[in-house]
Amino acid sequence: MKWFEVVTLAVCVLVPAAHSQSKAWCYHLPSCNDTTWPTISSQYCNGTRQSPINIVSASATPNDKLTEFTFLKYDDTSAMTSITNTGNTVQVTLKSGVKISGGDLSEQYDSLQFHLHWGNGSSVPGSEHTVDGKRYPIELHIVNSKSSYNGNTNLAVKDSTGLSALGFFIEVMSGNSTGQPDSWRNLASYLPNITEKGQNVSIAAGFSLDDLLVGVDRTKYYRYLGSLTTPACQEAVVWTVFKEPIKVSKDLIDLFSTTLHFNDSSSPIMINVYRSLQPAQKVWTQSIKASASTTCFSLSLLLLSLVLGWISKPRALVKANPYSDKLKLAVTVNRVDIAKSELFDGDIPCKSLLSQIWWGDMKRKTEIWKLLLAFFCPILCYTNLISF
């Protein structure tokens, strides 16, 4: 099968406008909006692991298997080949060779396309997923299929983990910036050329997926098993929803809900293109080592405060230390990174504050605290501190 035929097949399954149904579905009409989808596509759209969902961050279960992803060719400035108005969203097709792996996925996945969901401008948010009840202006979905299926998404949707979707929230950039970031200005520049359903234009090389995902820490995410968010709603998706949003200026966000039509130019403007929230699913997230480190470090600071509070010479040492004000400020505002630097790294030749307390002339007076620090601080904290 030629690659363009594979992409066409993927489009037919994964793109809302092209998905074959006995009855057309839509977002904007009462006769075919998402309240009717369980009837339009009854096999899956009223299933038990439907998407999207509200993610309750406090209820997410830690999972050590949720490692970092490897993104192949996400830095390729020619990876995006074309952009299409599907009649229900904007979709960008990706060339062969763009892949993801890691993140506790069972194998490598091919990145086939990405599309977006939005509301009505920046003031009426339209992300599909929400976090703790918060809905973002736009949500970007990168759709991936198991590489072992060689692009055959008919097989992928029959596999409970055949597809992997990466969800990225888009939030209004602070300040009064316009046309930022550059990558999103480049992407939005194609919208006036695809105002009507079915219009498609090629994308010139010049910006990459990495450029579009600017500012997102892709090591922090939520994971759950769900479905496609449009009919036929197959329950075949491993969902990864990233915690940090992409920041985009308000003017660019507003373009998506003011430029495109559902059909021809006489049809309504394309707004509110997202599915309503579905029943909750079990959600996982990474084990938070940083928080454990912070807790351990706080215990060490508590021990140190006891030393400084009960023993006169260390207390005088703090007052004499040129960085004591900086240290106190760091502790006050919970800046563990700064406090760690002052306590452990120090400044040659005077060394660190702890080193002075540890090896100073008050050694005999602090023997018991030296033992406590020796046992508690290194064992509980040191291996985590070096990961800050």
pLDDT tens, 56-83?
A: 999 999 999 999 999 999 999 999 999 9
The residues pairing with 61 across neighbouring beta strands, listed in sequence order, are 284
Q: What is the pLDDT of residue 385?
A: 41
Domain ranges of the chain: 3-285, 289-385
What was the pLDDT predicted at 23? 73
Instruction: Measure the CA–CA gap between 40 and 26, rounded to whole angstroms.
Output: 11
The CATH T-level fold of domain 3-285 is Carbonic Anhydrase II (3.10.200)
Give the predicted TM-score (pTM) of the model. 0.73
Low pLDDT (below 70) residues in the chain? 1-22, 289-388
State residue 357's pLDDT score.
47
Q: State the pLDDT at residue 216.
A: 98
pLDDT of residue 8: 39
Query: What does the pLDDT read at residue 359?
Result: 46
